[in-house]
Amino acid sequence: MDNGFLNSGGVWLAIALINAGLAEQKNRSRLAWFFISVFFGPLATLLIVVMHPAAVATPRGRR
């Protein structure tokens, strides 16, 4: 069996891309979580899943 994809870090890259999408769903930065995931991989996935969504700032009306 050819393990070229596994040995070249393809799985790690796939995890980073998935984590970027998960982060966006939780109102967090896709780019930041992509890079965090490149270094921490599955641990970053766990953090994204257990963290609460980020609060979204709502603009105030004019007075």
User: Within a domain: residue 42?
Assistant: yes
Q: Residue 17: its pLDDT value, please?
A: 94
State which residues form the domain around 33. Answer: 4-50
Mean pLDDT of the residues in the chain: 86
- The one-character DSSP state at 28 is -
pLDDT band at 9 (very low <50, low <70, confident <90, very high): confident
pLDDT digits (tens, 9 = 90+) for 20-49: 999 999 999 999 999 999 999 889 999 999
User: Within a domain: residue 32?
Assistant: yes
User: Within a domain: residue 33?
Assistant: yes
Percent of the chain with pLDDT over 90: 57
Higher pLDDT, 6 or 24: 24
What does residue 24 show for φ and ψ, rounded to 5 degrees? -60, -40
